Amino acid sequence: MNAAPQVTEIGPRDTGLQAAFCDFIPQVFGRADFRRWCQWGEWTDDYRGFAVLEEGRVVANTAVMRMRLLVEGREVEAWQLGAVGCVPSHRGRGLSQVVMNATLDACGDAPMLLFANPRVLQYYPRFGFQPCKQTLFAAAYEARPEGPLAPRLDLENATVRAGLSALSSEGLPVTERFGARGYSTAASWHMANGFARPLLRLGDDAWISAGVEGDTLYIDDIFAREPFDLRAWVPRLIDRPIRTVHFGFTPERWWPEAAEAGEDQEAFLFVRGLSLSHEPHGFPVLART
């Protein structure tokens, strides 16, 4: 009888294993990559991988990121799963189940969440995860460019990364209905992969991830120490007239008149040991792993 595959934990100081992890990711997730993110030093103690290795290669993996969730204003310590998969040559051997079980054992009874693609919606309930609807939000708003565009920030700059970390940890959460605090390393991963809209500087204490497509302004996230008049800044976030604003989070604080704009069909939320708000909500897109 074959022994169960051994699972190896990968942490922030395991540089050799991190390299194997980085080689694994594009084999399973296509465009996604962790190399630039690792080079930036964004793999912290809050991120852990659980991998099956074969001849030094990661062939199956699950990772978790420690999260400071906010649920209706209450802070909840939790873990978010990501990078769950197996290389094509090793599928059908139960390796994904092995790493999932190892990860769940390591996290114990702590609440957990994950975002899954439509192909695996039947997989996670077997591990105790329940689906939860995510809502999109939008508002009709006509505006034209006025004044200089807000300057763009580059996360290649270590000072910018430190500033994002400070605003994310110490600033105002973008939403308290279902959001998080201190998730700059998740946001930086999206930015390192080109999956986020530009990070723009509104001032020392207010940065925003936003961009225009067609006649719509998309606001992915806001990192700010204090509330400010978002509408007053819209003309400096756009390079053409707009008619609509879409939000990558629940905008109850920043644009309370925003309306539900359907269900988020791009990423499906599953939770375990976590009770969420009964109000419509969308977890911030830059906090997703």
pLDDT band (50, 70, 90) for residue 2: low
pLDDT digits (tens, 9 = 90+) for 110-167: 999 999 988 888 999 999 999 999 999 999 999 999 999 999 999 999 999 999 999 9
- Tell me the chain's radius of gyration from C-alpha atoms: 20
Q: What is the pLDDT of residue 118?
A: 82
Q: Which amino acid is at 134?
A: Q
Distances in whole angstroms, Cα of residue 155 to Cα of each of 12, 18, 39, 158: 20, 21, 12, 7
CA angle in degrees (0–180, nearest 5) for 31-33-35 = 150
Contact criterion met (CB below 8 Å) for 188 and 194: no
Angle at alpha carbon of residue 223, lines to 37 and 246, rounded to 5°: 95
Query: Can you give the pLDDT at residue 61?
Result: 98
Contact 111, 271 (CB under 8 A): yes
Q: For residue 17, count other CB atoms closer than 10 A to its CB.
A: 18
- 149's tokens: 């565009």
Confidence at residue 287, expressed as pLDDT on a 0 to 100 scale? 98
Residue pair 259/280 in contact by the 8 Å Cβ criterion? no
pTM of this structure:
0.95
Structure confidence by residue, pLDDT tens digits, 50-87: 999 999 999 999 999 999 999 999 999 999 999 999 99
Query: Does 19 have pLDDT greater than 80?
Result: yes
| Mean pLDDT computed over 162-173 | 97
* pLDDT at 40 > cutoff 70: yes
Residues 208, 219 contacting (CB under 8 angstroms): yes
- Residue 16: how many CB atoms within 10 A of its CB? 9
What gap in Å lies between CA 63 and CA 50, rounded to an integer?
Answer: 6
The answer to whether the CB of 79 falls within 8 A of the CB of 112 is yes
Tens of pLDDT along 222-275? Answer: 999 999 999 999 999 999 999 999 999 999 999 999 999 999 998 899 999 999
Q: How many helices (H) and strands (E) does the chain have?
A: 6, 15
Q: Are 288 and 196 in contact (CB under 8 A)?
A: no
Query: By the 8 A CB rule, do 131 and 268 touch?
Result: yes
pLDDT 10s digits, 190-205: 999 999 999 999 999 9
Alpha carbon 272 to its chain's center:
17
How far is residue 207 from each of residues 124, 167, 210, 221, 236, measured CA to CA in Å? 35, 8, 10, 9, 13
Q: In what order do the strands lie in the sheet with 135-143?
A: 152-153, 199-203, 206-213, 216-224, 242-247, 135-143, 259-263
- Cα separation, 283 vs 190, whole angstroms: 15
Which residues 6+ apart lie within 8 Å of 193 measured at CB?
31, 32, 33, 36, 37
